Amino acid sequence: MSNAVLPVYGPSPVVFERGEGVRMYDDKGKPYLDFIAGIAVNALGHCHPVLVKALSDQANKLWHTSNMFRVPGQERLAQRYVDLTFADYAFFTNSGAESIEGCIKIARRYHWAKGDTDRIGILSFEGSFHGRTLGGISAGAQEKYREGFGPRIQGFRSIPFGDHEALKRAIKEPDLAAVIIEPVQGEGGVREVPEQCLQGLRKLCDEHGVLLIYDEIQCGAGRTGQLFHHQWVKDAEPDLLAAAKGIGGGFPMGMILSSEKAASGMAKGVHGTTFGGGPLAMAVGNAVLDVVTGDGFLEQVRRVAGTMQQGMESLKGRYPELVKDITGRGLLRGLKMRDDPLPLRGKLSDRGLLVGTAGNNTLRLAPPLIVTEDDVREAIDIIDQQFATMMTAAGS
Ligand SMILES: *Cc1c(COP(=O)(O)O)cnc(C)c1O
């Protein structure tokens, strides 16, 4: 079949027609349990009534004005995120990559405004993923995403994940402006950074006047049971945070959170965006935050995450020939497989369960946050049945 879409994706042959809650239905009416949620985007599942109402109400009022006019929903959402986090300012974007670009600009500008004009270095960790723009692939430590796109932007460098000696050397480099890290690596294999490492990193950054940027594009928005993952960790707040994916619940939207200090180089005209913070996105963004901060919502995420943990442990215990490890936190989880999980993903889809994959042979599970314990048991059952079939096939 010919396809006019630039051939950068390899979509599965299934065509989805509609979604409701944690389920999606294909064009033949077959239901699927959605345990990837548009890669951690549909935080409240499909067509959540609160989001549908917020979006359609706003669609009947006003779509776009540009940031040359005040957007009341934007000011309200900024204030709400500031009240809930370390931040003093929020800036709204349209995507994760745009949030990363903005964080890098703000960090470099902070040093520039203090007269440290040569401080442009950005340090990242191997296995990290920070989006597909030139800044994003320069920040990201995976060479395959940079291949053919010219040299890495000046100042960007990476060190191995978990190499404390390399970090202690790199943090002292006089041109270093900021360190960027995913508190839970998503694409790299759903790996949680140990709490003491985030705390240690915060301390090192403070000692050397380096800003700390968290990429919580995937692990934020309530996914690990806190509004932002780092809120689990004491004394490890960042100076800047990039968000996107789940905070828009499926409406394209990103956000930068900044401390007052980190933003000290920013002023009128220094940065901007056409679509970011527009009325439609802000209506949905406020509605997502209403639900996620609602009574008992994050407690329920943590409870269901416990059921998921148990289910994954039992899979690992019963199929050690297939599962090497379980990784991640909350509802951002990985089953690290002994073999490439891509064929397995297809088999699970045939059985009505949608999952993703990530680096390091990881099968990625990121269901909508509204998932119930019964949904989780159903998903684990489907994986169990598939594993049992694989073991029988291997034994025969
Ligand atoms: C998805 C993702 C990005 C890129 O976001 P886009 O919206 O695709 O630009 C960056 N960092 C992390 C951790 C992500 O998961």
**Residue ranges of the chain that CATH labels 3.90.1150.10:** 16-48+297-395
Q: If one looks up domain 16-48+297-395 in CATH, what number appears?
A: 3.90.1150.10
Q: Is the CB of 185 under 6 A from ligand 1?
A: no
Q: Is the CB of 181 under 6 A from ligand 1?
A: no
C-alpha 219 – ligand 1 centre gap (Å): 10
The SS3 of residue 378 is helix
CA-CA distance, 32 to 48, in Å (whole number)? 17
Q: Which of 2-6, 306-310, 314-318 has the lowest mean pLDDT?
A: 2-6
C-alpha 89 – ligand 1 centre gap (Å): 21
Return the amino acid letter for 26. D
The per-residue pLDDT for range 105-127, each reduced to its tens digit, is: 999 999 999 999 999 999 999 99
pLDDT band for 141, please (50, 70, 90 cuts): confident
CA-CA distance, 184 to 186, in Å (whole number)? 6
For residue 136, give the ligand 1 atom closest to its CA: 10
Q: What is the mean pLDDT of the chain?
A: 97
Q: Is the CB of 45 under 6 A from ligand 1?
A: no
**Residue ranges of the chain that CATH labels 3.40.640.10:** 50-292
Q: Is the CB of 252 under 6 A from ligand 1?
A: no
CATH fold group of domain 50-292: Aspartate Aminotransferase; domain 2 (3.40.640)
C-alpha 107 – ligand 1 centre gap (Å): 19
Range 387-392 average pLDDT: 96
φ, ψ of residue 21 to 5 degrees: the values are 60, -130
Tell whether the model's pLDDT for residue 350 goes beyond 70: yes
C-alpha 95 – ligand 1 centre gap (Å): 7
Q: Is the CB of 124 under 6 A from ligand 1?
A: no
The residue length of the chain stands at 396
Site to substitute for ligand 1 among 41, 217, 218, 357, most atoms within 8 A of C-beta? 217
